[in-house]
Amino acid sequence: MTTRRADESQGALLTFGTLPITTLVQSASSAAIIAPTVAAPVLLASLHASSVFVGVYVAIVYGVAMISSQWGAALVRRVGPIRTSVFALVLSVCGVLLIATPQWFAALVGAILLGWGYGPITPASSDMLSRTTPPSRLSLVFSVKQTGVPLGGVIAGLVVPGVIAVSSAAWAMVAVAAICVVGIALAELLRRALDAHRDPQAPLPTLARLVVPLRFVWSHDLLRRLALCTLVYSIVQLAISSYLVSFLHDDLTWSLVAAGAALSIAQVVAVVGRVFWGLVADRWSGGARLTLLWLAAAMAASSLAMPLLTPALSHAWVIVLVSLYAGTGIGWNGVYLGTVARVVPHEQAAMATAGSLFFTYFGVMIGSPVFGAASGLFGRIGPAYALLALPLAWTMWTLWREDWTAR
């Protein structure tokens, strides 16, 4: 009787807890990545560095994540998605605590650990959700899970400036680390059920296996096209999440608290956008292709409008624009990942996701220093946003001319 009750309890937790817990894990990991960029004006001042180094930090994080996501697929198969997620969050805790130390070497190691922890999170969650979600709801469910990324921005935008206002940037990083610890504790509740499919005899991640997911995606026609398009979208997402606070603070002379609050509002809109676009992709006859196409058009229009904002413009109008920008520029992920999971068997979901994320993270890695350099060249961040309309135009043209139907 006791065993039966335990099984029923675990089954209920699996049914109703998988999506919210994976979303929380994603939120905690995302908050750990974004928190240093929110605290950038304070952290960089202690290091006597300019905002250009925000791009260097993001490039390091996502460059490492680009590699660790490929190993993530092998890790999921060997130890299971929950153990993989817990391991990743432990690395995030260590990374964000090291960044709390105002030393260049500690910050460098912290950025590497944050990237190493961020990479496996999405392949692990894709494995879990692909096994527990009907195909007809994949875009919506993956969109809900991917709200964890902007929710992480909301958490960072609210927690970090608030803690800095009453204490210091170091304690703000400690607060974010504590959120990751909560994610670890809750993820452990699902370990027995969701790690049951692991293969303890599967090969451990090695350098030789690093390119396996990448080759898989490149050989798959639809996955390859999706991955190349989202390479551009990831640059836009990075520019919003990592540079918005600096843009509002430096270009528009907002206070750090006001800029952080604006980021949080924009990220809340992005959360709604992710769910909305997932519903659209599942129900619209045009499917993922047209959804991603119109998202690119909206991103391009918002990018061109950013340098038109001035300090004299009311805060309300600025928040409206940046919120619309975030609703599209951070709202595409669930449509993308839902399509990736839909077109492959369940057992290949983690590998397909890992290979696809290589392109996504590569876009962030190259886009961040280029965006930062463009900001430095113009002396303002606004014009750098406008330049994003060029690669977005290429993406729109690619999606328009290609004749494929999302499955």
Of 105-119, 206-220, 235-249, 370-384, where does the model show the most confidence?
105-119
Helix (H, G, I), strand (E, B) or coil at 196: coil
Any idea how long the chain is?
407
pLDDT for residue 5 is more than 60:
no
Task: For residue range 174-220, list pLDDT tens digits in order.
Answer: 999 999 999 999 988 888 878 877 888 777 766 667 788 888 888 88
Q: What mean pLDDT, rounded, does the chain reach?
A: 84
CB of 154 closer than 8 Å to CB of 88: no
Find where tokens 């607060």 sit: 175
Alpha carbons within 13 A on the beta-carbon side of 377: 10
More confident residue, 135 or 25: 25
Task: For residue range 17-43, list pLDDT tens digits in order.
Answer: 678 888 889 999 999 998 998 888 788
| pLDDT value for 205 | 65
Domain covering 9-191+209-401 in this structure, CATH number: 1.20.1250.20
Q: What is the pTM of this model?
A: 0.74
Sequence-distant contacts of 182-188: CB under 8 A, at least 24 apart: 182/24, 182/28, 183/24, 183/25, 183/27, 183/28, 183/29, 183/89, 184/86, 184/89, 184/90, 184/93, 186/21, 186/24, 186/25, 187/21, 187/25, 187/82, 187/85, 187/86, 187/89, 188/82, 188/86
pLDDT for residue 96 is more than 80:
yes
Task: For residue range 373-405, list pLDDT tens digits in order.
Answer: 888 888 889 999 999 999 999 999 888 876 554
Task: For residue range 296-320, list pLDDT tens digits in order.
Answer: 999 999 999 999 999 989 999 999 9
| pLDDT value for 208 | 67
| pLDDT value for 1 | 47
Query: Which of 154-168, 207-221, 238-252 is the least confident region?
Result: 207-221
| pLDDT value for 213 | 84
Contacts of 401 (CB under 8 A, 6+ apart): none
More confident residue, 321 or 221: 321
| pLDDT value for 14 | 60
